[in-house]
Structure 1
Amino acid sequence: MRRAVAQLTAEGVITRGEGNQYDIQGERIQVDYPGGGSSAPVLVHSPYISDQGSTPRFLLVRPADNHGTEVLLPVEELLAGLDEILGPRGMTLVRESRRALLRGLYLASSSLMAAASEAAWFNLARAVPTPPAALARKVAEGRDIAEVIRLTEQCLRELKPSPGSATLTEVATQAHMFREVRNYALHPVEPHDGDRETWLTETGATLLTVAARRYFVKLADLRERLIGSVAGQP
């Protein structure tokens, strides 16, 4: 029981309430016999949470029943079919981002999701057939995500048939937004920026999570198009 309470607290499902927070008190069983009596201690291994007549020691952070309100897509459903575009590290980053979000660690949640976006673009770049030297060098170095995005987008615009200019502009714009979020969050050398701070709040981190599935699915589709373009060559 203690382990379950600890896990639920860590995942942001419950939190401490205003009830009795004293250590759990041991119980004793009284044994009477002719001429006397005695008692034996009983070790209690479950935390006392509350009863109907007391203020609860633990409270639900989120309602037990959402009464029809929208909830986040379960993380494994969010990740379904994205293992190739995200890779093992990217998949882990998305899972850790969700855990951070549920625990109220919004800066961490947004930063981890932005890092997953970076992983996706490097995997997308690796699928470019005969990449230009500059892109191949950046991918090999594993750095300068802004250039990786720019050069990969150029290669995508050369695909036949075209994925569509609007689609490419959309995913590239979202990629650069993720890059800005991560840079701002993890390199605190710039002046305070209210607009970018929004992405590090509960609302911002939740919006990034909600939008992530559609974004990654589009990147996965573009990766398949790149691979298919090689297969279709004579």
Structure 2
Amino acid sequence: MALLEIENLSVNYGAIQAVRGLSLTVEEGEVVTLIGANGAGKTTTLRAVSRLQKPVAGTIRFAGRDITRIPADEAVKIGIAQSPEGRQVLARQSIQDNLELGAYTRPAADMKADVKRMYERFPRLGERASQLAGTLSGGEQQMLAIARALMSRPKLLLLDEPSLGLAPIIVREIFSIIRELNAQGTTILLVEQNAKLAMNASHRTYVLEAGQMTFHGNSAELVNDERVLHAYLGG
């Protein structure tokens, strides 16, 4: 049984069908990536899994449980956390406050130990715990967004465009963190515009075009596949 199973998922934004009949699986311990051109439905798929967007059809199962209609806070409680596109840190709140917000579903007694754990994993954040999140660099904000998601101790981490707007040296650091998290047991569903980077960091790849999954396979085998370039450029 896969940790995450999506079957025939369709999601609309008003009259626009953003995702159509999408099916995919994520096994425990994997990094699975979704790639495709802008507007392919990648972020919409993550939002449906985290329950921030309601499907119009299809089924989402997590650890064998149908979660298609549960509220977003319940999704966090059962082990799904998302680091959103654009990071979306609370700019006027401190690093510490942002981290504590990420643990809002968990007992307060556990929070202190988890904050310490995040500061050990991300020393740059620990050095600036009282600094306002809005004054951090883009890379530091991305680290904070990931750390905030990890505060809920997720079984599945959803990462949406973690390299967006970052300098190449920072991107390498972020993806090193992603590999480290996975090596330590975190299952990850990754959306990333840099197709080659994403595939080099993942076990399997799903390619989306116009809201539909067109093909999928082992990332190492697809990384030089011309069909990936075709999909990434939007046809």
Please identify the structure whose Cα radius of gyration is greater.
Answer: 1
User: When the two structures are superposed, what TM-score results if normalisation uses the length of structure 1?
Assistant: 0.23
Q: Which has the higher helix share?
A: 1
* TM-score normalised by structure 2 residue count: 0.23
Greater RCO, 1 or 2 (C-alpha within 8 Å, sep 6+): 2
Higher strand share: 2
